[in-house]
Structure 1
Amino acid sequence: MSNYSSTIAAIIEQTEALEKTLPLKNEACRSKFFFHPQPTAKVCLFFHGFTAAPYQFEPISKILFEAGYNVLIPLLPGHGIAGKWNSKNPPPLPTEREVYQEFALSWLKVAQSLGNEIVVGGLSGGGTLAAWLALECSQEINKALLFSPYLSSYNTILDLFVEILPIYYDWDGKPDTDTIGYGGFKMPALRLFLDMGQEIVERVRYYPTAPMLVISSENDKAIDPEDLKAFFESLMKKQSKSWYYRFEKFFEIPHTMMTEAEGNKYQNLLNALVKAYVLSDISWEQLLEIGYHMLQGKTFDAAVKELSLSEVVVPEVSNFLAILDKEIMIKAHK
């Protein structure tokens, strides 16, 4: 057996052995892996959302797998565990950020055992963790994909609620047995992501970071759009190859944006935006310049060729530009 075959076999076996001891709430909570039969330098590491599970990243993982990436979607610590969870017996979610941070660092090492072109990503709390990792290990990560990262709540009152009250929050309203992930949680388990998010907003102003794609939605009632916008503005001063897009209300895309099953009717469009960013190698300024040339009547291919970007741009970039605010392109050109 080759070293590569031994490595992926060990990852699968060790993960399965660990998850057998939990036990898992259901099959959707199991860690997911997409491995090519032959080695590839490209690896994606995804962290699922708070109280959710690895199933969230299956659709985009299949797209990136087809693009040549091995993909790892590990179950976050304390998540997806079977039990009769309620306010008197809350799920065993970590309440210390170090648990998640050590977990992220350990899985980064796993990813590095497979290749050296590393992309990390995550949704909500998983997006917060991916952002932390992109700052903590900026030289070891090629790109980060942040989907509605939880940096702060939609309103400040809720932030105070999260910070102060140690209550149990039944966010789903369904019996825990009817949900894939957890239907509720104790506030301290969420508080650590809020604290980590606020630290990230500060750190990105002063420290190096990997390039990031930041995606959110106007229909997202979980996160603060102003904090996220400020985060991106700070990010751009450190990493020009970072992109940002906020889906307009028209798309009706919720916080749980990764799958059609969780409310995103435009899952394929989201996947195209991700593919455009991951497989291209241009700055935000260059992206907007392509868009500006198209506003002047040029085709996408002609604009890319005229700007000498054909070797570093994939066709899916046209999807990104098609929905990007045209005023942004015009202002950037002035």
Structure 2
Amino acid sequence: MDTSRKNRIIKITIWAVCSIVVTAALLAATAFFWPAASKQLQSSSSEKLSYNDAIAAANRTVSEDTSNTDIRPECRSIIKTHGKKTAKAVMMIHGVSACPQQFTDLGNTFFNAGYNVYIPRVPSHGLTDNKRHGEITIPAMAQFMNSSTSIISGLGDETGIVGLSGGANMATWITQYNSQTISRALLLSPFYQPSESETPSWKIPLLRNLYGRNILPDSFTGSNLSYRALGKYIIIAKNYKSDLKAPGLKYVGVVTSENDTAIDKNLAVNIPKQMAAASGAKFQYYSIPASFGIGHDIVALNQDEVKKHADKLYPFYLDMYEGKDVKLEAN
């Protein structure tokens, strides 16, 4: 091989190696240092609605879900009212990969206690192909949170929110950016980021930026949760107000389960606690004993252990939401 050809090969090899190194460096920088701030999540566009306008908007949402054949019938948005604006109304937001069905029974508990209840379907959730919840986008999440808040604003004199897992994450954002509407919040198994056993802390930026920004193709956990969706919920949490303040907030309750290994429990308690302190609101926390046998989803009746304790759990959640000093007694 002549010298000039050998030199060309060496140059090409060096160029290729340098390109790989630069690409890897850019990917690493993106993964760990990409700012989590999102313009759509830095302010709210919700508005106060009259009862009639709120009902009309809720009915449109239910109608759109009903006409969309991609949405499973049991997963359509739910509106339950007493035919008029009530003293109290509550919005319930389901978890990642779940749908309004998750809150059907708890919603009935609140409705029977006199509340108007709205349970909206999070975008890309409740579809016939459930893995498509990974298609959710940040703009769609922001629009959902704002439009849903507008609807609940017209359903009661006092309005509040209940969220489970990723829904509790959304509820935390809504509470801070819509404190003129939301005066109380109950956060169940709040998912702000995974537990250390699920995802080591050094991997969180990878999950948030590479999957949450749709750079890597989607992948799924053992329980079929989309990495892309999880990354976007983590982005929401990174866009809370720096001081977590929600003027007008009166009460925050948090419930987790001792058996829950999915979430970072320190954040699950400390973020709402700090939000309450910054807002001058009452804070209450309860951990469901391990003896109840309940894991992360502490609401849905399709789980045997939740069903077994439903007669105690649902009234307990209502009492916790209302700020009563209560605890669970094992059977």
TM over 0.5: yes
Shift of 1:36: 0.7
Report the counterpart of residue 207 of structure 2 in structure 1: 162
Asked if 1:246 corresponds to 2:287, the answer is yes
Correspondence list, 1:252-271, <5 A: 252-262=293-303, 263-264=305-306, 265-271=308-314
Q: Is the 8 A contact 1:134 1:209 kept in 2?
A: no
Q: Is the 8 A contact 2:66 2:73 kept in 1?
A: no
Q: Deviations over 1:61-106 (max 9, x none)?
A: 11111111000001111212234x66xxx4563232x321221121
CA change 1:236–1:82 in 2 (3 A) is closer
Shift of 1:228: 2.0
Report the counterpart of residue 39 of structure 1 in structure 2: 85
Report the counterpart of residue 236 of structure 2 in structure 1: 196
Q: Is the 8 A contact 1:29 1:75 kept in 2?
A: yes
SS of 1:242's equivalent in the other structure is strand
**One-letter amino acid of the structure 2 residue matched with residue 102 of structure 1:** Q
CA distance in 2, matches of 1:218, 1:248: 6
Shift of 1:50: 0.8
Correspondence list, 1:203-242, <5 A: 203-204=243-244, 208=247, 210=249, 211-238=251-278, 239-242=280-283
Report the counterpart of residue 118 of structure 2 in structure 1: 72
CA change 1:230–1:8 in 2 (3 A) is closer
Q: Is the 8 A contact 2:62 2:78 kept in 1?
A: no
Shift of 1:12: 5.2
How many residue pairs match? The answer is: 268
Correspondence list, 1:302-317, <5 A: 317=325
Q: Deviations over 1:238-285 (max 9, x none)?
A: 3441211111222221111112313423233322222213335xxxxx
CA distance in 1, matches of 2:267, 2:322: 28
Report the counterpart of residue 100 of structure 1 in structure 2: 141
SS of 1:139's equivalent in the other structure is coil
Shift of 1:8: 6.8
CA distance in 2, matches of 1:167, 1:33: 36
Identity of aligned residues (%): 26
CA distance in 1, matches of 2:160, 2:272: 18
Shift of 1:320: 2.0
Report the counterpart of residue 104 of structure 2 in structure 1: 58
Report the counterpart of residue 183 of structure 2 in structure 1: 142
Q: Deviations over 1:99-135 (max 9, x none)?
A: 2122112111111222231011111111100011111
Asked if 1:272 corresponds to 2:322, the answer is no
Report the counterpart of residue 154 of structure 2 in structure 1: 113
SS of 2:92's equivalent in the other structure is strand
Q: Of the two structures, which has the highest relative contact order with CA contacts closer than 8 Å and spacing of 6 or more?
A: 2
Q: Is the 8 A contact 1:276 1:320 kept in 2?
A: no
Shift of 1:209: 6.6
Q: Is the 8 A contact 1:65 1:71 kept in 2?
A: yes
SS of 2:135's equivalent in the other structure is coil
SS of 1:320's equivalent in the other structure is coil
Aligned Cα root-mean-square deviation (Å): 2.8
CA distance in 2, matches of 1:261, 1:115: 30
Shift of 1:184: 4.8
Shift of 1:231: 2.0
**One-letter amino acid of the structure 2 residue matched with residue 22 of structure 1:** N
CA distance in 2, matches of 1:249, 1:321: 12
CA distance in 1, matches of 2:93, 2:53: 21
Q: Deviations over 1:180-211 (max 9, x none)?
A: xxx453x222211112224449542x564722
Under a length normalisation based on structure 1, what TM-score does the superposition of the two structures give?
0.71
**One-letter amino acid of the structure 1 residue matched with residue 207 of structure 2:** V
CA distance in 1, matches of 2:65, 2:240: 31
CA distance in 2, matches of 1:35, 1:254: 31
Q: Deviations over 1:158-181 (max 9, x none)?
A: 6355234534334466xxxxxxxx
Under a length normalisation based on structure 2, what TM-score does the superposition of the two structures give?
0.71
Structure number, greater radius of gyration: 2
Where does the alignment leave 5 or more consecutive residues of structure 2 unmatched?
A: 1-49
Q: Is the 8 A contact 1:151 1:201 kept in 2?
A: no
**One-letter amino acid of the structure 2 residue matched with residue 122 of structure 1:** G
Where does the alignment leave 5 or more consecutive residues of structure 1 unmatched?
A: 174-182, 281-312, 324-334
Asked if 1:128 corresponds to 2:178, the answer is no
CA change 1:26–1:77 in 2 (3 A) is same
Shift of 1:233: 3.9
